Amino acid sequence: MNNNILLFRSYIVISLLLLLPLSMYLTLELWQIFQFILFKQINLDKNNYLRILNVYIDRKKWLLCISFLEVSSLFNVIAMDINLMYLAYCYRNLNYYNIAEYYYLKAIFYSPCNIIILSNLASMYNLLGRKNDAINLYRQIYSLDSSYSIPENYISDL
């Protein structure tokens, strides 16, 4: 009797070990099919996505905007730096400056020469009173584009 229980348990363990990778593979394939069907039916391309996003921003529905951005980052509808820039903008308007700074810095990692991201982060540093950080960013902006209009109180420090 004891031998039968041991045999049964070993059968269950071996079955689970063999079926677990198969189930993971099937789950990933089903997820990819779901993503494909979802985008094919909804036709959520970059322009539609940005229109929906701008509606949320215009109506100041920050939490809906953040949720939409977080979910859409899974589907890679638009470029990651733009997605992160919008997330930082939403958190900045909610006065979560540390989170906004995190997303701005992450966006700069993806696109270090994007002047819009750099200027948004510099203006946030200006708002927070972190003048040295703002000056460093304005110097970087000036080195990328000398025609960019920098606030007058920082021109003398450049």
Q: 89: how many CB neighbours lie within 10 A of its CB?
A: 20
Q: 101: how many CB neighbours lie within 10 A of its CB?
A: 19
Looking up tokens 């460093």 gives 136
Question: pLDDT (tens digit, 0 to 9) for every residue of the chain, 158 residues total?
Answer: 567 788 888 888 898 888 888 899 999 998 888 877 766 666 567 788 888 889 999 999 999 999 989 888 887 778 898 999 999 999 999 999 999 999 999 999 999 888 999 999 999 998 999 988 988 888 888 888 877 777 766 665 55
Q: 60: how many CB neighbours lie within 10 A of its CB?
A: 11
Domain boundaries, the chain: 1-43, 44-95, 113-158
Tokens of 24: 């993971």
What is the pTM (predicted TM-score) of this model?
0.70
Q: Which helix (H) or strand (E) holds 6?
A: helix 2-42
- Residue 148 DSSP class: S
